Amino acid sequence: MIARRLGYRVMLLERGRHPRFAIGESASPLAGVLIEQLADRYDLSRLRPLSAFGSWQRAYPEVVCGLKRGFTYFKHERDERYRVAPDRRNRLLVAASPSDELSDTHWLRADVDHFLVREAIDLGADYVDEVTLDAITWRPDGAAELTGQRRGDPLRVRADFVVDASGPRGFLSRALGIEPRGFDGYPATQALFSHFVDVPRCDAMADYDAGGEMPPYPIDDAALHHVFDGGWMWVLRFGNGVTSAGIAVDEALAEELKLSDGEPAWQRFLALYPSIADQFAGARAIREFTWMPHVSYRATAAAGEGWAMLPSAAAFIDPLFSTGIPMTLLGIERLAASLQASGPRPQASGLGQAPGYNDVTLAEADHTARFIAGCYAAFSRFDVFTAYSMFYFVVASFSEMARRLNPDAARGFLAAGDVDFSAAMARLSPVVQRSWDAAHFARDIAAACEPLNVAGLCDPRKHNSYGVDFEDTVRSASKLGLSSEDVRDALAVIGAAGL
């Protein structure tokens, strides 16, 4: 759509047919900001409502999404029912928005992707589905020629520039012989998932009752995570009664569960955790289970002469902190800037590399993988996990506010461009820290995060329960390079509650 707005002729090739199932369903505050800014910058006003739950529901109630007010984590032990500990040490709640109106969303990808394809067609993109591509070659003039088939008939397409917007191990990786190299120090993981109906809410189950405490948001209106030794489970609710759920586990647990068996492996997993089993006792899978024998992926290159991969095709890590959608939107932003700078006809030479597209895309993926690896190493010590997770929540809130209030203060995805922050994240990773004094470790994390902490995080007095208080941001205005008055005025403009 951006390329069409910039005057390019665009062909969109699809292997399957829409609507179709896809994974990668949870957005984030940064994703919402990026959708707003891209929509405004490139005159895509019909996409702007997708930036928040309230505007989405008013504009497109028929395009199914879910309400995501925050991130919820429960730590489970084998063969034991879950109970909220008196000091909340086995639970973490981090709000991402102050209200349903400004909330993030879960995307029912069959609906959302189909909507986006129709929008692209309306803007003049030539859309061809049921395509099997076989090869890509380069003509003397530098253009690419893609060959394949559609419904048994030959297909040939000439393009000045090719973008692979598929997932890992996609067409360009295969056709160009781009080797996967993996992430240094990252654990091998597998996943098993499906869509379900009739999944009860945790806040309706006695096991998750916190004694009348008022949480910062309804705990199920979130990206809800059940954490256990060796992995974690996601539970994402959509507005049509469907729930996306799945597990991502290390190789040892995958082998124990025999994850390749599909639904029988799912039942073996549920048998280990009574409270999770109760939540899914009456649930019914509405599609076959999908097994991913290798979750993480990283290509050795993300762009080259005449081509580029979106971040979603160049690398995939883990959905633990909903990083996939915002990382891909950042890649779209970078490619869009290159297209805009190249003039009315794209020059194949260097388009996907300027400004540093290949290096930035892979560096952000590597940086994020180091963080997720640290989280996996900490699953057996939930107090360590909650402390280390603050690296993500601190920088996520900082990035959102910097994007909104002072873009010059932004540091790249997960502050990948901040040398001190990145070094602290690596130095304090549970991958290398094998013995912990939990309180000392949490203080070290808080100190490392302090320069970017604009949301009142890393506070032991809050007992792992963090709401949204924009006064925290006002008090931290100097970290964003602004005055308190500037921050207060800007937050009032975007509708922040109470300001």
Q: Domain containing 266 — which CATH number?
A: 3.30.9
Are 253 and 391 members of one domain?
Answer: no
Structural domain includes residue 423: yes
**What's the pLDDT band for 349 if we cut at 50, 70, 90?**
very low
DSSP 89-157: TTEEEEES-SSSTT-EEEE-HHHHHHHHHHHHHHTT-EEE-SEEEEEEEE-TTS-EEEEEEETTEEEEE
Q: What would the two tokens of residue 311 be?
A: 């971040």
Q: Which of 240-244, 363-367, 403-407 has the lowest mean pLDDT?
A: 403-407
Structural domain includes residue 238: yes
| pLDDT 10s digits, 105-146 | 999 999 999 999 999 999 999 999 999 999 999 999 889 999
Structural domain includes residue 424: yes
Q: What would the two tokens of residue 28 be?
A: 């984030």
**What's the pLDDT band for 492 if we cut at 50, 70, 90?**
confident
Q: Work out how many domains the chain is built from and give that number.
A: 2
Please identify, among 255, 272, 292, the residue that sits at the C-terminal boundary of a domain.
Answer: 292
| pLDDT 10s digits, 146-191 | 999 999 999 999 999 999 999 899 999 999 999 999 999 999 999 9
Residue type, 342: S
Structural domain includes residue 455: yes
Q: What sign has the CA pseudo-torsion 495, 402, 317, 202? A: negative
Over 90: is that where the pLDDT of 351 sits?
Answer: no
Are 287 and 393 members of one domain?
Answer: no
Phi and psi torsions of 40, nearest 5°: -70, -40
Q: Rounded distance, CA 120 to CA 344, Å?
A: 19
> What residues have CB less than 8 Å from 345, skipping those under 6 apart?
160
Structural domain includes residue 54: no
Q: What's the domain range around 395? A: 381-499
Are 226 and 79 members of one domain?
Answer: yes
Q: Percent of the chain having pLDDT more than 70? A: 96
**Overall average pLDDT of the 263-286 stretch:** 98
| pLDDT 10s digits, 391-426 | 999 999 999 999 999 988 888 899 999 999 999 999
Structural domain includes residue 256: yes
Are 288 and 394 members of one domain?
Answer: no
Q: What would the two tokens of residue 35 be?
A: 């959708």
Confidence (pLDDT) at 411: 86
Question: Tell me, what DSSP letter sits at residue 456?
Answer: -
> What residues have CB less than 8 Å from 71, skipping those under 6 apart?
92, 93, 94, 96, 222, 223, 225, 321, 322, 393
| pLDDT 10s digits, 427-443 | 999 999 766 788 899 99
Structural domain includes residue 162: no
| pLDDT 10s digits, 312-323 | 999 999 999 999
Are 386 and 278 members of one domain?
Answer: no
Q: What would the two tokens of residue 195 be?
A: 């869509």
Are 85 and 225 members of one domain?
Answer: yes
Are 201 and 79 members of one domain?
Answer: yes
Please identify, among 238, 264, 292, the residue that sits at the C-terminal boundary of a domain.
Answer: 292
* SS3 category, 237: strand
Question: Tell me, what DSSP letter sits at residue 187?
Answer: P
**What's the pLDDT band for 208 if we cut at 50, 70, 90?**
very high
Q: Which of 307-311, 329-333, 482-486, 493-497 has the lowest mean pLDDT?
A: 493-497
Confidence (pLDDT) at 350: 53
Give the count of beta carbons closer than 10 Å to the beta carbon of residue 166.
Answer: 17
Confidence (pLDDT) at 496: 58
Confidence (pLDDT) at 346: 58
**Overall average pLDDT of the 461-484 stretch:** 96
| Mean pLDDT value across the chain | 94
Are 276 and 424 members of one domain?
Answer: no
Over 50: is that where the pLDDT of 96 sits?
Answer: yes
Residue position matching structure tokens 């040939």: 156
Are 281 and 387 members of one domain?
Answer: no
| pLDDT 10s digits, 48-79 | 999 999 999 999 999 999 999 999 999 999 99
**Overall average pLDDT of the 333-350 stretch:** 75
Over 70: is that where the pLDDT of 348 sits?
Answer: no
Decide: residue 192, CB within 10 A, 0-12 exposed, 13-18 middle, 19+ buried.
buried
Confidence (pLDDT) at 497: 46
Q: Rounded distance, CA 383 to CA 389, Å?
A: 10
Q: Rounded distance, CA 266 to CA 471, Å?
A: 44
Please identify, among 292, 317, 342, the residue that sits at the C-terminal boundary of a domain.
Answer: 292
Are 219 and 80 members of one domain?
Answer: yes
Structural domain includes residue 341: no
Taking the model in full, what pTM does it have? 0.95
Question: Tell me, what DSSP letter sits at residue 284?
Answer: E
Are 205 and 80 members of one domain?
Answer: yes
**CA nearest 132: which of 100, 89, 166, 109?**
166
Is the peptide bond between 154 and the residue preceding it cis, with omega within 30 degrees of 0? Answer: no
